[in-house]
Amino acid sequence: MNRLDRKMAELKGQNRAGLVTYFTGGDPDYDTTVELLANLGAAGTDVIELGMPFSDPVADGPILQAANIRALQGGQTIERMMAMLREVRARDDETPIVLMGYFNPVRRYGTARFFADASASGADAIIIVDLPLEHAGPFRAQVEQAGMHLIAMTAPTSHDKRLAALLKPASGFVYHIAIAGTTGAATPDASEIQEAVGRLRRQTDLPIAAGFGIKTAAQIREVAQFADLVVVGSRLVDVLAREGRDQALGEVASLAAALRPNAA
């Protein structure tokens, strides 16, 4: 049982959904990201989703594309991602961290080496956006051997047969993409998310996260009625870019309060 498993058990015991906050590693720079990540748990984040910058992030909208560019221009690499994880873990060894990225940088680093190093550095799971189910098998074994989860992603267009194939080997949680499109591109329809989550629950007992397009406390409260995790990314990355680290942490605290029944 790693940090992610413990967090999901904790949330279940508290009978509430958890907040997943996304930031891109190295945006706007290495030191700012370390300070930000090290303080996210205290601000109310339940799970950190840490983006690994890539030059062609096809699933990302303009805000996250710009974050990827800033990080890469600042010299962020996979090696620096590992160092970043280690620095954060020296200050927060409890908040789960889920790496999110694309397959090409992982392949170049060496898949088995990547998963082993990521786990040793403090990651608990990974999402590889462009790794098709049909090719995931060998890499899933490497992820599991490293003690992490390979997170399955589902889309509004996923039919039941496809869902069954995706969910059978899944672990950790299931990430449901709430909109057909790129991150932050549109506002998701809560009733459609509810229907999709219902379909997923008929096929898996894993916790279900919903993300893409969720920006406000009101949206979080609505989605939290039927999802186990609510993911906010573009909104937070935008605040970080425009207003800085402290304001981004303040926004996290504000959004986290929407999920905590005893919050003022």
* Radius of gyration over every alpha carbon of the chain, rounded to an integer in angstroms: 17
CA gap 82, 120 in Å, rounded: 9
- Dihedral sign (CA 226, 195, 101, 123): positive
As a whole number of Å, the end-to-end CA separation of the chain is 33
Here the tokens at position 36 are 């930000």
The answer to whether 189 is a known catalytic residue is: no
Strand runs labelled E in 102-228: 125-128, 149-150, 152-154, 174-177, 208-211
Q: Which of 60, 92, 124, 228 is catalytic?
A: 60
The answer to whether 60 is a known catalytic residue is: yes
One-letter identity of residue 82: M
Please state the separation of Cα 170 from the chain's center in Å: 15
- Burial category of 208 from C-beta neighbours within 10 Å (exposed 0-12, middle 13-18, buried 19 and up): buried
- What dihedral do alpha carbons 168, 170, 173, 176 form, nearest 10°? -70
CA gap 228, 131 in Å, rounded: 24
CA gap 147, 144 in Å, rounded: 5
CA gap 89, 96 in Å, rounded: 10
CA gap 208, 227 in Å, rounded: 6
Q: Which of 27, 49, 92, 228 is catalytic?
A: 49
Here the tokens at position 221 are 């409260």
Please give the positions annotated as active site. Answer: 49, 60
